[in-house]
Amino acid sequence: MEMHPPNGVRLRVLVVDDEPTYAELVVAELRHVGFAVEWEIVESEEAYLDALARSPDLVLSDYALPRLGGERALELLRQHGPEIPFIAVTGTIGEDATVTLMSGGAVDYLTKDGPADLGPSVARCLTVWQLRREQRESKKEYRDLFEQVPIGLYRATPDGRIVDANAALCEMLGYPDRESILGVNAGDRYADSADGARWLAQIELAGVVLGHETRMTRRDGAVIWTRDTARAVRGDDGATAYYDGAMEDITPRKEAEAALQRQLSRLASLRTVDLAITGSLDARVTLSVLLDQVTMQLGADGADILLFEPESATLTRTAARGLVAGGHSANGWTAGPVAPGLAARAAAGSRLVTIGDVATDPDARIDQAALQAYGVAAYFAMPLLAKGQVKGVLEVLHRRPFLPDEEWREFLEALAAQAAIAIDNAVLFGDLQRSNAELVRAYDTTLEGWARALDLRDKETEGHTQRVTELAVRLARAVGLAGAELVHFRRGALLHDVGKIGIPDAILSKQGRLSEEERAVMRLHPKYADDLLAPIEYLRPARAIPYCHHEKWDGTGYPRGLRGEEIPLAARIFAIVDVWDALLSDRPYRRRWPIERVRRYIAARAGSHFDPAIADVALRLLPHDA
């Protein structure tokens, strides 16, 4: 570094010493190199503090003094005038003083018996000090930036303790100031502590985590969504010294996303109902699809659809879900409304009846006992209107008091409009009006024809269902079924996938693998089958296969996750044949498998997917080649 001569720059020197000899020497040298020096000498703490208040340009202090030592002088300087350079003056090089004072913040030290050119030496010290001050000032600028950026910035120890934080972070996490947040463990603020641990592990491993989105708990307990980018700062030994991170509050974005997601999901569900209306053979399936959407999308604990019969002016339950699902009598849908008075009011007035809290709403009084018997705390009755006429009523039930918002109400109206269309469809209406006895006759004569129609829709090869049924009946016999059991088994096998009529074509005939959502819809087919078959007395004992053929021995199947012998025997037998035949058939999304591979597949899943005892019998019975 090049030294510039001071050229008359004024320099006020404060000397801490008990005798002036050495100071005079230094001052003379400083004048010699061009400073215009003024100086004073102090010996006591009081005089020193007074002099500091006048802001000298330089403090020269003897190390060892009876009244005011160098260390104390430096400490007082840092308390009262930190921006003034301090040069320690000691007896000999190597005195402890140099170490203590230099590490305490002294700019330099001079020795009393030291070099002749004290002046340049002091000038050099002052230049070094000047540079340090500039550094400090630029640090201060960064600090100001750190404090003022509108993003939460922090530094944390490897175990998560916050050791520095800016105002934005404090505000985000609900702390009044920096002091109150220091020492707080960031890990404890994670709403999901497992996620907090994962975050720490990931940053430790990768060194940096970009845009981690998680929920944090503010000091006041409120939960916010945050987006965090952090890096591990490693020490020379490679170990993490601390984490530096930037965190944003993304709660508004997350809320907007969730609202959008809800909208999309509701749109999709309206579409699903549309597809069910146009694609179904039976209105019961459409209404069943619709009630699935009502309970899923409206967050309801139960719902039913009541059909209005104008001649008798009665409301008859036609389909039901959740809280009210067990409410129909054994021979069909004969039960009335959950809340007869309120449902009638909705039908008569052609308007939505809203009971946010059954316990306190005076309007609930007429049906309070009935509602409470069903465990209903909030109740909604929506009239189903088509061409200006009441076709029925949709009852929506909640276990807890509930005040719907505008969005909820709009969606309920959209679903109600669709329910009304489904009911108004003359053909479907005929289906619903048909007595169970007629249905039994109709199914009795057309069961096998229906199965063929199902094959066609499922793009199955000619005779697939017949073939599966014959094979399944052989296996059932080998397992020991006989007589009436076998008759029911046969009917159940023929109808095993009847619930697929509730599945939109777009999913059923998809050329590729199903997405998660599509798979979820597909998995409703056993439930639809049950809804369809439940009212038909004649097919009641045959329901086990359609309803339970996708349950698995280890409990990982659907729709109910039954396990082992909880799964009806007929369904355990049929499941093996279903998979056997499926894998031996071309599907729009894959070619048929060779027989050996299918045998291996079934053998490998005996005891997990399949009942192991039945799988044994099946593998003996099923062919070894085509």
Contact 59, 14 (CB under 8 A): yes
Least separation in angstroms between residue 271's CB and ligand C2E is 18
Three-state DSSP at 560 gives coil
Distances, alpha carbon 531 to alpha carbons 145, 169, 353, 438, 617, in Å:
65, 54, 27, 18, 32
Q: Which residue is nearest to ligand SIN (CB)?
A: 604
Question: Which of ligand C2E, ligand SIN, Fe ion, none does residue 510 bind (CB under 5 to 8 Å by kind)?
Answer: ligand C2E
Q: Enumerate residues 281-300 that contact ligand C2E by CB under 6 A.
A: none
Among 513, 591, 620, 624, binds ligand C2E (CB under 6 A): 513
Alpha helices in 381-425 (DSSP H): 406-424
What does the block give as tokens for 106? Answer: 């002294």
Question: Which of ligand C2E, ligand SIN, Fe ion, none does residue 597 bind (CB under 5 to 8 Å by kind)?
Answer: ligand SIN
Contact 536, 296 (CB under 8 A): no
589 binds ligand C2E (CB under 6 A): yes
Residue 170 vs 575, nearer CB to Fe ion? 575
Among 557, 578, 580, 599, binds Fe ion (CB under 5 A): 578
The contact pattern for Fe ion, residues 496-525, with x = CB under 5 A and - = no contact, is -x----------------------------
301 binds Fe ion (CB under 5 A): no
As beta bridge partners, residue 393 has 306, 383
> Letter for the amino acid at 321?
R
What does the block give as tokens for 545? Answer: 């296969």
CB under 6 A: which stretch of 118-126, 392-400, 449-457, 507-515 binds ligand C2E? Answer: 507-515
Quote the CA–CA distance of 258 and 271 in Å, as a whole number: 20
Those residues whose C-beta lies under 8 Å from the C-beta of residue 56, and which sit 6 or more positions away, are 12, 13, 14, 40, 84
Residue 538 vs 601, nearer CB to ligand SIN? 601
Total of residues contacting ligand SIN (CB under 6 A):
4
Residue 591 vs 620, nearer CB to ligand SIN? 591
What does the block give as tokens for 39? Answer: 């100086």
Strands of 58-62's sheet, edge to edge? 36-42, 10-16, 58-62, 86-90, 108-111
Among 139, 434, 590, 597, binds ligand C2E (CB under 6 A): 590
Three-state DSSP at 566 gives helix
Residue 23 vs 583, nearer CB to ligand C2E? 583
Residue 199 vs 610, nearer CB to ligand SIN? 610
Among 509, 604, 607, 613, binds ligand SIN (CB under 6 A): 604
Among 328, 550, 572, 599, binds ligand C2E (CB under 6 A): 550
Q: For the residues of 427-469, what is the DSSP string, one character each?
A: HHHHHHHS-HHHHHHHHHHHHHHHHHHHHHHTTPPTTHHHHHH
Quote the CA–CA distance of 543 and 532 in Å, as a whole number: 10
Among 146, 443, 538, 601, binds ligand SIN (CB under 6 A): 601
Distance of CA 563 to the CA centre of its chain: 30
Least separation in angstroms between residue 348's CB and ligand C2E is 44
Question: Which of Fe ion, ligand C2E, ligand SIN, none does residue 588 bind (CB under 5 to 8 Å by kind)?
Answer: ligand C2E
600 binds ligand C2E (CB under 6 A): no
- The 3-class SS string of 95-140 reads CHHHHHHHHHCCCEEEECCCCCCHHHHHHHHHHHHHHHHHHHHHHH
Residue 389 vs 589, nearer CB to ligand C2E? 589
CB under 6 A: which stretch of 245-253, 313-321, 363-371, 597-605 binds ligand SIN? Answer: 597-605
522 binds ligand C2E (CB under 6 A): yes
CB under 6 A: which stretch of 82-90, 161-169, 170-178, 576-584 binds ligand C2E? Answer: 576-584
Distances, alpha carbon 171 to alpha carbons 150, 175, 176, 177, in Å:
10, 6, 7, 8
In the numeric block, the tokens 């996303």 are attached to 257
Among 80, 136, 519, 597, binds ligand SIN (CB under 6 A): 597
600 binds ligand SIN (CB under 6 A): yes
Q: 56: cis peptide before it, omega within 30°?
A: no
Quote the CA–CA distance of 497 and 247 in Å, as a whole number: 52
Residue 136 vs 597, nearer CB to ligand SIN? 597
Question: Which of Fe ion, ligand SIN, ligand C2E, none does residue 587 bind (CB under 5 to 8 Å by kind)?
Answer: ligand C2E
Least separation in angstroms between residue 561's CB and ligand SIN is 19
Strands 378-386, 389-398: parallel, antiparallel or unpaired by DSSP? Answer: antiparallel
CB under 6 A: which stretch of 32-40, 266-274, 354-362, 584-592 binds ligand C2E? Answer: 584-592
Q: What is the DSSP letter of 624?
A: S
Question: Which of ligand C2E, Fe ion, ligand SIN, none does residue 300 bind (CB under 5 to 8 Å by kind)?
Answer: none
Given the rule CB under 6 A, which residues bind ligand C2E? 510, 513-514, 522, 550, 578-579, 582-583, 587-590
Given the rule CB under 5 A, which residues bind Fe ion? 497, 578
